[in-house]
Structure 1
C-alpha cells in the first residue's frame, strides 16, 4: 500500500503545507509556537499577495514564499531558504520594508505601524555562529538601545 507524501523542504511542498487556506491551521500553530509569548495567540490569518513591487518600475521587487496578516494587522513573511545566503540578515531587513511601506496611509497619518515578522527557515548556519551549533532561533527587533 503506497501513500503520497509531500517533502516540506521543497518550494512546492513548503508552500503546499503552509501556504494554502486548507492548511492555515498548521501555519497558525507554527507562528504561535514562535511568537505567542511576545504577541499573544494568533487566532486568524489571511493570506496576502506574495509579490511586492517597488515604488517605481526600476525598483527591486520582492516575492515572498508565504505572506499573511493576522486579525490584529500584524504581517508575517515566512521563507524557506535552502541555499546558503551570506547576507540573509540584510535580506530579511530589506524584505521587511515592503510590508512596512505598505502601511503608509495617504493624507493625515499618525505613523503608527503594525508589527512585521520575517521568519526564515534556513538550511545553513550563519558564519558568525559556526562555534555555537546549538543556536537555531534568532530574535531580532528594532528597539531603543538603552531601554530595550
Structure 2
C-alpha cells in the first residue's frame, strides 16, 4: 500500500477538500485550531476538489476553503517551498477572504471572522521550537486583543515536529504526523487508524484508489514543486558563495593597500577575477611579497 504525499498541494486538496472530506476537515481543524477540542461540529467546503477538473486546476483553487456553522471562514494552504514576500501573500489571502464576504452596498456587520491556516514544509519562526503558532491582533504595549478575533493567523511548521509513531498522544500530534510522514507509510498504523478521520484520509490518499490521470498530475506537480525547492536552495547557496567571494576580495584588497598603498586598477581587476580558493591562497602569501611586482608575478602564475 502506497500513499500520495499530502504535502503536495493537489494531493492536499484531494484529501481535505473533496466532497467526502467534511469529517476529515472538521477533525483536522479541531486538532490544529482548538487543540483537539470538538469546537467545530459542521462546515461546508467551498469549491470542493473535482477529479474531472484536476488537469485545469489553478493555484487559487488549490487552497481549501470552508465555512463553519457560525459563518466563520477558514482558508487552509499547504506550502512546501519558501517564496519571496511569503508573509505578505498569507496576509493578502486572509484579507481577501475577509473582504470578499461583502458585495457592494452591504453592511460591515455581515462580516464573519476569518482564520488562515498555513502549513509549511520549511521553518518560518526561528524564535520558537513550537510546531504550531497562532496570531491575533494585539495592542503593542499592553498586549490586549483588538478586533475580537476577527482575523487569526495559524502556522504549522512541519520540520519542527520530531515525534515518532510511538510518541503520538494527541489528535494534533497524529494529524501533524500524517501530513509529514504519510508518503513514507506502507500501511495504516494502529496509532493513526484508531482515529477514523485519519484512516479515511489515508484511504483517500491510497494510490490504488486514484485514477491514472489524478496520479499523473499529482506526481508531476510533486516533481515540479521539488524542482522549485531545489532551485531555491541552489540560489541560496549561490548567494552565500557570492557573499563569501565578495568578503574575500574586500579582505585581500585591504591587506594589499595596507602593505603597498594604492593598488593599480589593472592589478585590482586581476584580484577581483580570482576564485574563492585563490583568494584564500593569496591571503596567506601576501606577507611574502616585497613589492607589487611580486604580486603581479603571483597573479600571472594563476
Same fold (TM over 0.5): yes
1:1-148 matches, within 5 Å, as 3-36=1-34, 41-49=39-47, 62-107=60-105, 109-111=107-109, 113-126=111-124, 129=126, 132=128, 134-145=129-140, 146=142, 147-148=144-145
Larger RCO (alpha carbons 8 Å, 6+ apart): 2
Distance 2:111 2:8 in 1: 33
Larger strand percent: 1
Distance 2:99 2:39 in 1: 25
Larger helix percent: 2
Return the offset for 1:25.
1.1
**Matched position secondary structure for 1:72:** coil
How large is the RMSD of aligned CA atoms in angstroms?
A: 2.7
- Once the two structures are overlaid, the 10-residue window that deviates more, 81-90 or 115-124, is 81-90
Aligned residue pairs total: 132
Runs of 5+ consecutive residues of structure 2 not aligned to the other structure: 49-58, 146-302
Q: Which structure has the bigger radius of gyration?
A: 2
Runs of 5+ consecutive residues of structure 1 not aligned to the other structure: 51-60
1:82-113 Cα distance to aligned partner (Å, 9 max, x none): 01124322211100112211222544624353
Distance 2:84 2:106 in 1: 40
**Matched position secondary structure for 1:68:** strand
Return the offset for 1:49.
3.2
Identify the residue that residue 268 of structure 2 maps to in structure 1: none
Distance 1:12 1:105 in 2: 30
